[in-house]
Structure 1
Amino acid sequence: MADVAIRLRPVTEPDLAMFRRFATEPGLIGLDWAGFRDAQSYARRFATDGYLGAEDGRLMVWADEELAGLVSWIAGQYGVAGRHFEIGIVLLPEWRGRGIGWRAQAMLCDYLFAHNPVQRIQAATHPENLAEQRALEKAGFQLEGVVRACEFRAGQWRDGYLYSRLRDDPAPAL
């Protein structure tokens, strides 16, 4: 699937239509559906900083010059000097399973390491999401372990898997 050209770019106003779909179409986002959300909150956030904030952000994933989804990051902190980012991805269903996700996540890590002095980038996924586990490993992440009862989804508390990639871990070949 390496023949699909992937690029990341900042959010533009027309992209907000996809964000609104994720907030209002159950199941479109996959296992991360957390109920209906304020579909106008995306426009308010975009007007604030274009989704390029100091503590979090989003970039759009383009595959073969078509909008395929988005990647995101949010800052976190371990201890006094342990600033890190946690990343996420969501692809539209027609782009899943085509080798785009792992490359987009690897590209996001390269971008974040190039522009921020963080040592650690982490990502979490669901135990049943085998495709995302493979994608994270291809993107250079290592499984750290199970985070018990960390997420309330579909009416119950569920475990998650925590992965990380450190600055000095080998980057995957894109």
Structure 2
Amino acid sequence: MPTNMAEGPVILAGTALPILPVQILWINMTTAVALGLTPAFEPCEPDVMRRPPLPPSLPLLTGAPGRPDGVRLGHPAGVFLRAFQWQLGAGAPVELARTVAMNVLRPVSELALPHRADALARLAAGSGVPGAILVFMIPANRPDKVHLRVFTEADLAFLDRLCTDPDALGEFEWPGFGDPRARRKRWESDGYISAESAAVAIARADDTVIGIASWKPRGFPSGVTYEIGVGVLPEHRGQGVGTVAQRLLVDYLFGRTTANRIEALTNGGNLGEQKALERLGFRREGVMHGRSFYHGEYVDVLVYGLLRSEHRPGTP
């Protein structure tokens, strides 16, 4: 019952679904199996067949004063919806937010049962197994802890990897093999910052570099329009890092330069980047047919743009 009480109100609220129908079916199936089979292996009490039926006047939901069952059964909805919103607010993709919400729902619903009151107390105190469950669900790279910084000498191995590892920048950005020291030479010449183009490191909380964010002027005169791009190492993707990095870069360019327009180009098949740009307020403005060559085929490139007047700092 706690699981159903959590699922129903959120679905009827009319917001973006925190969990998909297939996830609801999975939760209900595992819940029914886990709770339904357990009594089958529990020994019966000696007088179980001699007990009188419950009085018809007995209410369906009972509980101690001050803590009605409706509140106890309904609170998981608020908890797992908050987990979903927390992930979206931190810049995580909706798929990750839904995964976190689904994994929060089951243990929180279990804690809502009367015989789990002691576990709920431990959860509130931040100790015990339930607390460990929630710690397990926190992403390794908290998107809200990602920051941008200039490249340093300690990052040269990362820059070398971008030149030698086809998977480093992702399937849509690999330009082919070239000079393995090209990016190292660029850093040695100007620190990767110049009027013609620039790039900075995407770093996590411990300052380890996990990606690259770049920009370059477009149009005339220089400084009115900038084109941006990001790349995140494969082991750090799917956690909202790229979305937050682009937000930080957009905030920087509108806050520290004379830019009136920021644009981004993306492969027509790069759905993840398209969603990230739209989440940041970019609008799809056009399609350049056959502009790029990818996996033996000429492919389309989409154009996204954002004006200074449309920018909302900190979005999402």
Structure-2-length-normalised TM-score: 0.52
Q: Is the 8 A contact 1:59 1:72 kept in 2?
A: yes
| Alignment of structure 1 residues 1-174 onto 2, 5 Å | 1=87, 2=90, 3-4=142-143, 5-30=145-170, 31-65=172-206, 66-77=208-219, 83-171=224-312, 172-173=314-315
Residue 25 of structure 1: CA displacement?
1.5
Q: Do the aligned partners of residues 149 and 82 (structure 1) sit closer, same or farther apart at CA in structure 2, a change above 3 Å counting?
A: farther
Residue 81 of structure 1: CA displacement?
7.2
Matched AA of 2:246: Q
Matched AA of 2:228: I
**Structure with larger RCO (C-alpha < 8 A, sep 6+):** 1
Superposition RMSD on alpha carbons, in Å? 1.8
Matched AA of 1:149: G
Alpha-carbon distance in structure 1 between the residues aligned to 2:253 and 2:173: 23
Q: Is the 8 A contact 2:167 2:234 kept in 1?
A: no
Q: What is residue 117 of structure 2 aligned with on the other side?
A: none
Alpha-carbon distance in structure 2 between the residues aligned to 1:81 and 1:52: 15
Residue 290 of structure 2 aligns to a residue whose secondary structure is strand
Alpha-carbon distance in structure 1 between the residues aligned to 2:252 and 2:245: 10
Counting matched residue pairs gives: 173
Residue 115 of structure 1: CA displacement?
2.0
Alpha-carbon distance in structure 2 between the residues aligned to 1:64 and 1:164: 30
Summarize deviations over 1:52-108 as a string: whole Å, max 9, x none.
101210111112323220100111115x67841110000011211111111110110
Matched AA of 1:150: R
Q: Is the 8 A contact 2:160 2:184 kept in 1?
A: no
Residue 227 of structure 2 aligns to a residue whose secondary structure is strand
Summarize deviations over 1:22-69 as a string: whole Å, max 9, x none.
211123321211211212122221122101101210111112323220
Matched AA of 1:159: D
Alpha-carbon distance in structure 1 between the residues aligned to 2:195 and 2:222: 17
Alpha-carbon distance in structure 2 between the residues aligned to 1:81 and 1:90: 24
Flag structure 1 segments of 5+ consecutive residues without an equivalent: none
Per mean C-alpha deviation after superposition, the further-off stretch among 164-173 and 89-98 is 164-173
Q: Is the 8 A contact 1:34 1:153 kept in 2?
A: no
Matched AA of 1:57: A
Q: Is the 8 A contact 1:27 1:33 kept in 2?
A: yes
Q: What is residue 131 of structure 2 aligned with on the other side?
A: none
Residue 22 of structure 1 aligns to a residue whose secondary structure is helix
Q: Is the 8 A contact 2:223 2:258 kept in 1?
A: no
Q: Is the 8 A contact 1:6 1:100 kept in 2?
A: yes
Flag structure 2 segments of 5+ consecutive residues without an equivalent: 1-86, 91-141
